[in-house]
Structure 1
Amino acid sequence: MSGIIDFNTIRLGIEPLSQQEKNPLIGISVNIDAQTSRLHEAYIHSILDAGGIPILIPAMDDEAALQEIVENLDGLLLSGGADIDGRYFNEPTLEELTEIDPERDRYDFLLLRIASDYQLPILGICRGMQVINVAFGGGLWQDIPSQFPGSPLNHSVLTQKEQPVHPVKIEKDSVLFPIFGKEEIGVNSRHHQAVKKIADGFKVSATSMDGVVEAIEAYPHRRILGVQWHPENMAAEGKNKEMKQLFNHFINEANLFKKAKQFHDKYLTVDSHCDTPMLFAEHRINIGKRDAVAQVDLIKMHEGKLDAAFVVAYLPQNYPQGKAGEYAKKLLLTMQKQIEVNGQYVGQACNFNEAEELKNQGRKALFLGIENGHALDGNLDNLVVFKKMGVVYLTLCHNGANDLCDSAVGKPIHQGLSALGKQVVAQMNRLGMAIDISHASEDSFYAVLQSSSSPILASHSSARALCNHPRNLTDEQIKALASTGGVIQVCLYSHFLVNGGKASVIDAVNHIEHIIQVGGIDCVGIGSDFDGGGGIEGCNGANELINITVELLRRGYEEKEIAAIWGGNLRRVINKIQQTVN
């Protein structure tokens, strides 16, 4: 910055903000020096040049203040600085060889925790990369010259900050490789600590010739990238095009996340299946507080910008006959009590208009459901009782046949719907209750389609063509459900997404895309099965559901298509069912 400005004319000719493309807000952590929060201007210029708006985050450990700042950001850059206290990675600190700053440590780790809970894209530079690795369970070499095996390079070159001083090798399967477009680049180097044990969920994406880790990443499951060198000096001062590309990538990720946040602000988003009430039997949980046990609570829903969820009373098939109904009522009443206690933040919704109104009030919406028709105890009158409690849907069975129908798992006994099952379907049609065929056998599925006068849903199922599990729907079932106006809510459960191993957000969106290809955009949604076994890489709680939106945007889906997936299709089906009440 140089010269003076004319205070009277400096803002003449600007455009209205509504007509400008608003750039993503990037929070940058700062150093602490003599009671001063400070930052080298190279970080600021690198973010500005890439199209971001840099926001310097004051150094503090006020969690509420940091959370409010982070909530408004679209990305976080963790800057360089002092060494990290060895106690953070369970080692005694080498005091004679390190220079630690306890205040900076508390500030950085708290800031990173909040930003990762909110799923922000994160770029760590030098110390920032080390903080990321340690925070997620990794360790460090506290002093390269005295600890690193062999004959390491000089990694602490304090001059020539804007110039490369040694090469690094880029892994071809890393996110860095397409950024730089080659296997080797030159970098500057100003550090004496380095990544030792890499954190779970991360991989090494670049190393120097002596084996020192130069970059780590958590892609594609988390949008977190760390580099050991200082690209800000090379980009802003050295005008290095390769390093500018690194910042461009970061800003592109922040832009995508910003669009996802804007989508969630605009549209009602709904998860059609969570088993959270099941936790009440063994755990003291308050859904109004962040809980390590629950994948769904109001805090996580807020962080992930999820507006509404169906929370279901799950009944195992071996629950004693005659007592199942009372147990289901107990679970539902406990959830209703939780909603009442936290009424400032949440309300029970019995239809989508109520859910929309709760969103407009700034509150979350919880719908009630029951998983397993075993809860009826063979008595149709219990449907009326559950309807009066606000139950929106009933899953006809679970794992194993019951007195209503056959299950996808276990020995069939009815070859579809039983006589009682047909009566239940008819009564649910009359009451305007949705029929859920997740867990039902193919014979049961087609029998329900034939018997029901209303469309049906699969609240937490996936595509068998991609994962050969009997719980999943075949392409023929998908077509049949779509042709009758129903909806399949993709389940975020590894066993139903991949044929082995741990599934990821990528796999979940692959199932969404397959169902769209088979049945059309109007027949698919999302039913996580959180707190009942659901949870995949990149989406292991309500706070991470926004990552599905990011992936859909990355694949080019339009806003209206994503709105259909995130609850619009389910809303159409539930509205149709509830309009046919007799």
Structure 2
Amino acid sequence: MKIASMCAASILAFASIAVQAQTAEETAAAALEAAPVFDGHNDVPIQLRSRFDNQINTFSFEDTTATGETHPEGRTMHTDLQRLRTGKVGAQYWSVYVPAALDEPEAVVMTLEQIDVTKRLIERYPEDLQLALTADDVEIALAQGRIASLLGMEGGHSIGSSLAVIRQMYDLGARYMTLTHSRNTPWADAATDTPEHDGLTDFGRDVIREMNRIGMQVDLSHVSEKTMHDVLDVAQAPVIFSHSGARAINGHARNVPDSVLARLPENGGVVMVVGLPGFLSEEQRQWYAAREAEKKRLETLWQGQPGEVEAALAEWDEANESPVATISDMADHIDHIRDVAGVAHIGIGGDYDGMPTGPEGMEDVAGYPALFTELARRGYSQAELEMISMRNALRALREAEQYAASQRDSAPIETLIAAD
């Protein structure tokens, strides 16, 4: 009798777990049906350049799972129309990224080329993609069953230190700009470069004011902590972090510290949580640092003998397998941002096609439903999931537009960088 009772209890326990899992899946599915993912960052445009030289007249974006042969390491693209639909992506910021190592004039030209190729890609698929310039455009595209496609510039080097270029990029459709990439600009410090300006210069502050005036969103992914604070001191519209995590969970300089998260409620900004494994898993970050240290040690031991270094590093790799980042790691970042800033300040910014792979279980853009199912299991309501997937990002965009509308009678700022 006792054994039978124990068996019955076990069956009930397993049934309860199954019901909970199904309920989480249903909650996630309902949320993504009502508010599909508004993804803050996808690097397809630079893939079009590096793999196809921006020659896309015969390129098929329907299914890119056979594109491994176009990459030197055999990686297939993470994004195509089929997987965007599977991943419940309803709006996408396409990053018109160009390398930070370019001289500014060259970066401006290449950015124009990346805007061009992205617009051409959107135009080739009018049944699936629709260029969006406003929050209303996003909602119209969603209502018509299309993926709203917005343009974001990744790196302030793309404006050539010119406010006039910012205005022209906006007129061409760019709706956010990441202030730096991996290197400092002449007016703002990056997270991963030696500080030069102690945050923003006076010209950098004018960049923020002018972006706010015209309605271009200020993206603080890639900038230093001091730059983040300087921007928040100046900004009159919500900032975004188009693809960043929480530094308390993973200490990478690219992630957002609590000191900044605590200021987001006042500003209205949104951290669009990244999927890059090295920014998610602290164990993986520590592994990478240890590997870099070992590589430096071997290069010192075997100077001028790259073959010896390569062989010894391969042995180290075999003995020290890289930790795997998971969906749970990504959810941990979302939990932390909710705890510090609140659920109204969380979004999604995968960084697909800008990294080798996403976390285990969501290696490409098709994986977003798995993340939202995990969040539902952690107790997030459907309304909260809708905020994270779409509504927070859309609200921040709309508020940037509203501030710009209030400044319609304000004259353009004419400051030149030479004035610093």
The whole-number CA distance in structure 1 between the counterparts of 2:216 and 2:91 is 18
* Aligned equivalent of 1:536: 359
Deviations 1:236-289 (A, max 9, x none): xxxx99789878866764453343222222224211111111101122464631
The whole-number CA distance in structure 1 between the counterparts of 2:61 and 2:145 is 14
* Aligned equivalent of 2:411: none
Deviations 1:377-400 (A, max 9, x none): 122111121111211100000111
SS state at 2:51 partner: coil
* Aligned equivalent of 1:523: 345
The whole-number CA distance in structure 2 between the counterparts of 1:443 and 1:475 is 13
Query: Are the structure 2 counterparts of residues 532 and 444 from structure 1 closer, same or farther at C-alpha, using a change threshold of 3 Å?
Result: same
Q: CA deviation at 1:296?
A: 2.0
Q: How many residues align?
A: 345
The whole-number CA distance in structure 2 between the counterparts of 1:502 and 1:346 is 33
* Aligned equivalent of 1:280: 48
* Aligned equivalent of 1:320: 103
* Aligned equivalent of 1:289: 62
* Aligned equivalent of 1:260: 28
The whole-number CA distance in structure 2 between the counterparts of 1:243 and 1:450 is 57
Match of 1:477 among 253, 260, 270: 260
User: Are 2:42 and 2:352, in contact at CA under 8 Å, matched by a contact in 1?
Assistant: yes
Indicate yes or no: 2:329 matched with 1:507.
yes
Q: CA deviation at 1:352?
A: 2.2
Match of 1:575 among 392, 395, 398: 398
The whole-number CA distance in structure 2 between the counterparts of 1:321 and 1:256 is 48
* Two-structure CA RMSD over aligned residues (Å): 2.2
User: Are 2:156 and 2:179, in contact at CA under 8 Å, matched by a contact in 1?
Assistant: yes
Which structure: greater strand fraction? 1
Q: Which runs of 5+ in 2 are unaligned?
A: 1-5, 66-75, 285-322, 409-420
User: Are 1:287 and 1:296, in contact at CA under 8 Å, matched by a contact in 2?
Assistant: no
* Aligned equivalent of 1:32: none
Q: CA deviation at 1:448?
A: 0.9
When Rg is computed on C-alpha atoms for both structures, the one with the higher figure is 1
The whole-number CA distance in structure 2 between the counterparts of 1:259 and 1:245 is 21
The whole-number CA distance in structure 2 between the counterparts of 1:400 and 1:248 is 51
Query: Which is further off, 377-386 or 331-340?
Result: 377-386
The whole-number CA distance in structure 2 between the counterparts of 1:259 and 1:465 is 28
TM normalised by structure 1 equals 0.57
Match of 1:556 among 379, 389, 392: 379
Deviations 1:340-399 (A, max 9, x none): 110111101112221121111111111110000100012211112111121110000011
Query: Are the structure 2 counterparts of residues 254 and 418 from structure 1 closer, same or farther at C-alpha, using a change threshold of 3 Å?
Result: same
The whole-number CA distance in structure 1 between the counterparts of 2:204 and 2:20 is 52
The whole-number CA distance in structure 2 between the counterparts of 1:287 and 1:572 is 33
The whole-number CA distance in structure 2 between the counterparts of 1:540 and 1:448 is 33
Q: CA deviation at 1:456?
A: 1.1
What letter matches 1:516 in structure 2? R
* Aligned equivalent of 1:397: 180
SS state at 2:193 partner: coil
User: Are 2:39 and 2:349, in contact at CA under 8 Å, matched by a contact in 1?
Assistant: yes
Match of 1:351 among 104, 111, 134: 134
TM normalised by structure 2 equals 0.77
The whole-number CA distance in structure 1 between the counterparts of 2:163 and 2:223 is 19
The whole-number CA distance in structure 1 between the counterparts of 2:60 and 2:86 is 14
What letter matches 1:325 in structure 2? V
* Aligned equivalent of 2:124: 341
Q: CA deviation at 1:302?
A: 0.5
The whole-number CA distance in structure 1 between the counterparts of 2:177 and 2:263 is 20
* Aligned equivalent of 2:369: 546
SS state at 2:77 partner: coil
User: Are 2:236 and 2:267, in contact at CA under 8 Å, matched by a contact in 1?
Assistant: no
The whole-number CA distance in structure 1 between the counterparts of 2:201 and 2:11 is 66
- Greater RCO, 1 or 2 (C-alpha within 8 Å, sep 6+): 2
User: Are 2:34 and 2:386, in contact at CA under 8 Å, matched by a contact in 1?
Assistant: no
The whole-number CA distance in structure 1 between the counterparts of 2:349 and 2:398 is 18
Which structure: greater helix fraction? 2
Identity level (%):
29
The whole-number CA distance in structure 2 between the counterparts of 1:505 and 1:322 is 40
Q: CA deviation at 1:435?
A: 0.4
Deviations 1:101-135 (A, max 9, x none): xxxxxxxxxxxxxxxxxxxxxxxxxxxxxxxxxxx
The whole-number CA distance in structure 2 between the counterparts of 1:256 and 1:519 is 24
* Aligned equivalent of 2:205: 422
What letter matches 2:139 in structure 1? E
Indicate yes or no: 2:108 matched with 1:362.
no
Q: Which runs of 5+ in 1 are unaligned?
A: 1-180, 183-239
The whole-number CA distance in structure 2 between the counterparts of 1:277 and 1:502 is 27
The whole-number CA distance in structure 2 between the counterparts of 1:418 and 1:361 is 44
The whole-number CA distance in structure 2 between the counterparts of 1:473 and 1:266 is 29
